[in-house]
Amino acid sequence: MTIDSEILEQPTRRGLLGLPQAPMFSEAQKLSHRQLFASASTLTAAVAASVQSAQASTDKSNDIIYMSATKLAGLIRAKKVSALEAVDAYIARQLDVNDRLNAVVMNCYERAREEAKALDEKAAKGQFVGALHGVPMTIKDSLDTEGVITTGATFGRQQYIPEKDATVVARVRKEGAILLGKTNTPEFTLGGLGGITAASNLLFGASHNPYDLARTTSGSSGGAGAIVAAGGAAFDIGSDWGGSIRGPANHNGIAGIKPTSIRVPRTGHIVDYGGIFDLWQQLGPMCRRVEDIALITPIISGPDYRDASCSPVPWADPAKVNLKKLRVAYCVDNRATGEAATDEDTKKVVRQVAKWLNGDVASVTEDAPQEILERLRDARMAMSTGDGGAFYQRLADRWGTKNISPQRKARMATAVPISSAAMVEAWEKQDLCKAQMLDWMKSYDVFVCPTSNKPAQLIDGPSSPPNNSPDGWPYTGVFNSTGWPSVVVRCGSSADGKLPIGLQILAAPWREDICIAVASFIESQSGGWKKPPI
């Protein structure tokens, strides 16, 4: 059965204003879908088992703290590295660099060591928990972690200890991943000190970029991006409401994915599911290598029957994508008229990627739906600010936060609420633009564009337009509105060679396989992640 037919066959109900809500399943259908995902889980485990050898990884690194999670898992499975050795190596790296990065804000080292010892005992008996057996990770501080303080960077949760893991955390732990600690983010992941383009808050301060400690990590998954890039974790899981995985992946030179909207459950994230912004929020892994995105994303995907929107859509294998058949569109500047243009370093990287693709795909065309993107940005901006900051205030009230981040407080003070009729109109305009974007995409299979207008800027420098934009990142927020999958991978560097530049590889909904396949090809040309000087 093809992906399209699977999607069409799913019965759905229409919620407020006709937006898709959770599938309305009978008990028999629920059982059928649970069986589907049980089968999918078995398949994923089988696929994972086939790649869990060092030889299956294309990563050439031989250093535990810099190799891909896929390669490390293979070495552990081959009993060439123990889980405890891996955990100790990553803990040592965190202790070495985190006082400068301020990326990990909470640790659970002793628990991690105990879990590693238990996994090694199992391995000695030939028993392996799953595809990530013994692989050390960090998790963004906005995702609940059982027994480990999870603040969401807000005062009201400064001593909050969840009783259970967020769904995505539970799923990677079930596959054997070991949590080392929590990574820095702005308050509620929605901005605060430094806005959405920095990982900074009143509780922990700012995270720093491993390629230049004076520069931003981007946000909101900035601590995740920094510690993964610096070799302090094999991977992290971030969240993306307006560019919060893709921005940090870009600025820290790693790979990250924003999956298709509602593929991955948001249960246990501080901004979870429901409401007018429901379809904007997505969770995804952040790694040094694209092969890890292909390994981890299907593990965390699929309904948990708590997230009211998450859908049971099959995962397509990136290895089966035929690059020769792909039609690629690209643009060097996808910002709306009047906004600061993309810098020359980033444009040069986009053009280089287009040259790499030319000849290895069916066609490469410079094209972008600029007018649709501009209307989509306008609709998103109206929706983002139209409630006058009530959405953010409700989050603060829910957790008892009185001392809200000053930058967010200032924005809330100047936000002018619009009428319910105007909000509905903006919502309808967004959905119209989403349909028009799909129509434009019929001519292409892949869209490649910048992630940001510049590489990482100074933390204490002048605010660039993305810092002040109510719709998050103007380059990225529109694709939260469309719900399209996007993979960011390092494709080049600034002119001085010091700062990473990554691009977005986008495809139509549910085609993560295409995004990953193209990103993997680009990574093979550019070299992808490079060791930072820290």
Confidence of residue 192 (pLDDT cuts 50, 70, 90): confident
Is 31 a residue whose pLDDT tops 60? Answer: no
Tell me, yes or no, whether 102 lies in a domain.
Answer: yes
DSSP-assigned beta bridge partners for residue 179: 137
CA 293 to chain centre: 10
Tell me, yes or no, whether 205 lies in a domain.
Answer: yes
Return d(Cα 272, Cα 281) in angstroms, integer: 8
Residues 6+ apart with CB under 8 A from 376: 430, 433, 434, 437, 478, 481, 482
The pLDDT, as a whole number, for residue 461 is 75
What is the reported pTM? 0.90
Listed residue (349, 525, 326) closest to 441, CA to CA: 326
The pLDDT, as a whole number, for residue 473 is 66
What would the two tokens of residue 149 be? Answer: 């303080």
Listed residue (271, 275, 315) closest to 293, CA to CA: 315
Return d(Cα 351, Cα 364) in angstroms, integer: 11
Q: Which helix (H) or strand (E) holds 256?
A: strand 255-258
Buried b (16+ CB within 10 A) or exposed e, 216-240: bbbbbbbbbbbbbbbbbbbbbbbbb
Average pLDDT over residues 413-426: 95
More confident residue, 30 or 116: 116
Tally the domains of the chain: 1
Residue 431 burial by Cβ neighbours in a 10 Å radius (0-12, 13-18, 19+): middle
The pLDDT, as a whole number, for residue 196 is 67
Return d(Cα 167, Cα 308) in angstroms, integer: 13
Q: Do residues 144 and 165 lie in contact, with contact meaning Cβ atoms separated by under 8 Å?
A: yes
Tell me, yes or no, whether 242 lies in a domain.
Answer: yes
The pLDDT, as a whole number, for residue 198 is 87
Q: What is the average pLDDT score of the chain? A: 89
Return d(Cα 50, Cα 42) in angstroms, integer: 12
Map residue 304 onto helix, strand or coil.
coil
Average pLDDT over residues 467-487: 80
- CA dihedral sign of residues 27, 28, 30, 34: positive
The pLDDT, as a whole number, for residue 407 is 86
For the chain, report the end-to-end CA distance as a whole number of angstroms: 49
Average pLDDT over residues 356-383: 96
Place of tokens 């804000």: 105
Tell me, yes or no, whether 338 lies in a domain.
Answer: yes
- Catalytic positions, please? 140, 220, 244
Tell me, yes or no, whether 415 lies in a domain.
Answer: yes
What would the two tokens of residue 17 be? Answer: 């204003």
What would the two tokens of residue 426 be? Answer: 């903006």
Is 56 a residue whose pLDDT tops 90? Answer: no
Tell me, yes or no, whether 534 lies in a domain.
Answer: no
What would the two tokens of residue 226 be? Answer: 């920094």
Domain of residue 212 covers: 33-313+323-526
Place of tokens 């069916």: 362
Domain CATH number, residue 169: 3.90.1300.10
| Angle, alpha carbons 363-366-372 (nearest 5°) | 115
Tell me, yes or no, whether 18 lies in a domain.
Answer: no
The pLDDT, as a whole number, for residue 49 is 42
Instruction: Indicate the range of 1-15, 243-257, 446-460 predicted with least confidence.
Output: 1-15
Return d(Cα 359, Cα 373) in angstroms, integer: 28
Average pLDDT over residues 357-365: 98
Residue at 435: amino acid letter: A
Residues 312-343: pLDDT tens digits? 999 999 999 999 999 999 999 987 545 568 99
